[in-house]
Amino acid sequence: MSEPTTSPKPAAAPEAPAAPELAVAPSSTRTGPGRLLVAVYGLFALSASARAGVQIATKFGHAPVAYLLSAFAGVVYILATVTLTNGSPTARRIAVVSCSVELAGVLSVGTWSLADPASFPDATVWSSYGSGYGFVPLVLPVFGLLWLSRWSRRARIRRTAATPAEDEGKEAGSGVGTPGTDPASRRD
């Protein structure tokens, strides 16, 4: 009995190697460190919202400013969680705004709570720069903004690398046989 022979598969046309930045560009903000970021934002969204809800419902008259600021922080955390999870370009822009508002809130409420402790008989999530939460409220928006910046930069690199080939396909048909339209020969 003879052994079956298998013919080698035809080799695919060689492709130009992708730049390292393109190979590691995340497909959404929910990849890599973004997963941890979303998880921490989700945890803070739940805890800040629940805490503020209970405080507002049971003892609002004791420290209304602190409780309303905690509720606002909870809304900001919810917005950041949802937009980071979504990852669309519009959601990323909203996430940048929410992380920026969060950072401004932590810095301003943190300073206010230290300068005028009488205004805060009970602490908020952002009091003393988030010291009651291990300063996570202070560093979380910084990491969020850094992650979104990194993601946006890589998405721009991906779009820039894809644009010449797409543009040439639209402008010059398929680009085959047309001088100067070979994407591999183009060095921008």
Domain ranges of the chain: 28-161
Q: What are phi and psi of 38, to 5 degrees?
A: -65, -40
Lowest-pLDDT range of 61-65, 113-117, 165-169: 165-169
Tell me the C-alpha distance between 5 and 2, whole Å. Answer: 9
Is 0.75 surpassed by the pTM of this model?
no
Task: Kindly report, residue by residue over 18-45, the tens digit of the pLDDT.
Answer: 444 433 344 556 677 888 999 999 999 9
Rounded to 10 deg, the angle between the 136-171 and 33-59 helix axes is 130
Task: Kindly report, residue by residue over 145-185, the tens digit of the pLDDT.
Answer: 999 988 776 666 655 655 555 555 554 444 454 455 554 54
pLDDT at 24: 39
Tell me the C-alpha distance between 35 and 33, whole Å. Answer: 5
Residues above pLDDT 70, as percent of the chain:
64
Q: What is the identity of the amino acid at 144?
A: G
Average confidence score pLDDT of the chain: 78
